[in-house]
Every structure is written in C-alpha cells, then in structure tokens.
C-alpha cells in the first residue's frame, strides 16, 4: 500500500471489476447458457474456435514477421513440418510432441 487511501481504493476497485469481468466472460455461458440458447449456425461456428485459437498462437511463433525484415524462417518451422509428417504417418499426439521436440533439438545442435 502506498499510504494514499484514494489511490489504493482505486487500484483495489479496478482489480475487483476486472476479476468480475473475467469471471462473467469465462463462466457466463455455464451460468446463463440455459436462458440464452445458441442457434445451430452459432454452434457450428464455435466448433472451430479451439482450432482458430491454436493457429493464432502457433503460426506467429513459427513464422515471425516484422515490417522491416519481413518473413523470417527458423529451425522451428522445419521441426514443425517434421512433427506434421509424424502425425500424418502415426496419428499419435504423443509421437508428434516427442518427434517435434527431438527434431528441434537435433536441428538446433547441428545448426
């Protein structure tokens, strides 16, 4: 605490409001889902949300881009391609994780 009561109450209030917003947005459907049924097109669209979120996390990590340098390829791209090949052949998530990490470590050691 800083000693300034107004400032401290403002910070604590902001934390409480943000926690409430986070709780409502994350648990809102579980709490109020029976009262607001989703239509079939919305349900079909929401099936793609986890895939879109995963792509939104993975692609910028694998293919970093900056306005000055443009697209920058790294060994992570080749390890990811090898992991995709492993998944295509085995359909095993565990093998994808192990094979992708091993290929990343080997490429990093060689290059």
Give the tokens for residue 46: 């929401």
Say if residues 108 and 102 touch (Cβ distance below 8 Å): no
- What local confidence, expressed as pLDDT, does residue 20 receive? 93
Give the tokens for residue 3: 């000693």
- What local confidence, expressed as pLDDT, does residue 64 receive? 84
| DSSP tag of 73 | -
**In the predicted structure, residue 1 carries a pLDDT above the cut 60:** no
10 Å Cβ neighbour count for 98?
13
pLDDT band at 2 (very low <50, low <70, confident <90, very high): low
List Cβ neighbours of 57 (8 Å cut-off, separation of 6 or more): none
Q: Using one digit for the tens of pLDDT, what is the confidence trace for 5-56?
A: 778 889 999 999 999 999 888 887 787 777 888 889 998 998 999 999 999 9
Q: What percent of the chain has pLDDT over 70?
A: 97
Quote the CA–CA distance of 41 and 52 in Å, as a whole number: 17
Mean pLDDT of the chain: 89
């Amino acid at each position: 605490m800083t000693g300034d009561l107004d400032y401290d109450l403002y910070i604590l209030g902001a934390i409480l409001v943000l926690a409430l917003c986070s709780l409502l947005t994350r648990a809102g459907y579980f709490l109020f889902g029976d009262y607001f049924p989703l239509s079939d097109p919305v349900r079909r669209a929401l099936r793609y949300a986890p895939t879109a979120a995963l792509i939104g996390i993975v692609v910028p990590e694998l293919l970093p881009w900056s306005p000055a340098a443009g697209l920058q390829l790294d060994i992570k791209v080749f390890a990811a391609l090898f992991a995709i090949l492993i998944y295509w052949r085995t359909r095993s998530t565990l093998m994808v994780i192990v094979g992708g990490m091993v290929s990343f470590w080997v490429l990093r050691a060689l290059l």
